[in-house]
Amino acid sequence: MKYFLIAGERSGDLHGSNLIKEMNKLSAAARFIGFGGELMEEEGMELLAHYSQYSLMGFVEVLFRYRAIRKYLRLARKLLDEHKPDVLILIDFGGFNMRMARYAKEQGIRVVYYIPPKVWAWNTGRAEILKKNVDLLLSILPFEKDFYRNIDWEIEYVGNPLNDSIRQYLDENRQTVEGLPDKKIIALLPGSRPQELKKIVPLLIKLAQDQSDKHFLVAALSNLNQDLYRPLQKLSNVEIIFDRTYDILLASHAAVVTSGTATLETGLLNIPQVVVYKANQLSFFVGKRLVKVNHISLVNLILDKPLIKELLQGEANHKSIAEEINALSSDVKRRREVLDGYQELKSRVGDEPASYNAARSILDRWS
């Protein structure tokens, strides 16, 4: 069986790689090709395009690079026609992958959507489009089953793949972060996209300068341009560490996290956090009028309450961040509130092996 996969960012690459790993364990006949990253390639997928070439976030950014996105859509369709896979597996990356789902369905190719787009957040009519074009939808958010039940579609909740990554990490002999000053350590997770770092790094510089009694560890990514982190290197209380996010989090007393998958990772690892988000002002303006949810972090969305503080746009300033970080570090009641909330979070997410469950579900249908 030949499987064509499409992931559009780092988290999709991670979850795609774990899915491929489990499918390889269950089926010696499975072959993988597609769009993704080095992690999927390491698990045996023939990489046709790297997500760094076509990944974008924000309404305005997408408009400005619409030609580039169309180019990769045409390429993906062309390669789908050439390789004629048995199944197309789409991983997150909604705007791009929903178009690919429709195209594949028109060509008679079976479609799996693993980690579907957040259609419950805005333009809920897209749920009907998914239902029309997707043969198997595998959800990683527990509340999505009820949402899709409202359109008479029983989808599968397979668990959350972050549990798989965390479990694997904790099972291995993880590296230790050595030689750090005897101070309270604050983790800084500035995001996985260049446009995120350009907005967040200046903010983190002001935070570190203002909180000189604390030591900050930056969870950096080696697949991004290292110049993006360079302004932080000038600060004596900031250390930049590449590709060791879990090490950094578990060495830290609290964390400043750019909104995204990392907020849930931080919660599942039991590290109190404050969430920050800064976007192009026009993108934020447009998004605010389209999005229909009360929270942006996965932690608060899953719990359906504001457990962790979310600082957006103008509210995301170094003084507000410092105030919450100090509360999480020194206010016993506030810290306990967050840690107790994380136990409820873990209960709702469950402990299912998502990557295995997703692989098993796909192969049980088509192998």
Task: Please give the C-alpha separations between residue 142 and each of 36, 222, 350, 354, in angstroms, as whole numbers.
Answer: 25, 32, 9, 12
* 229-238 CB contacts, 8 Å cutoff, 24+ apart: 229/197, 229/201, 231/201, 231/202, 231/205, 232/201, 232/204, 232/205, 232/208, 235/205, 235/208, 235/209, 237/183, 237/208, 237/211, 237/212, 238/188, 238/208
Q: Which residues contact 139 (CB under 8 A, 6 or more apart)?
A: 115, 116, 145, 148, 155, 156, 157, 158
Question: Within the chain, which residues score under 70 in pLDDT?
Answer: 55-66, 173-183, 280-292
* Domains 2-159+352-365 and 185-349 belong to one CATH topology: yes
- CATH of 2-159+352-365, picked from 2.30.110.10, 3.40.50.2000, 3.40.50.2020, 3.30.450.90, is 3.40.50.2000
CATH homologous superfamily, domain 185-349: Glycogen Phosphorylase B; (3.40.50.2000)
pLDDT of residue 349: 96
pLDDT of residue 58: 47
pLDDT of residue 59: 46
- Model-level pTM? 0.86
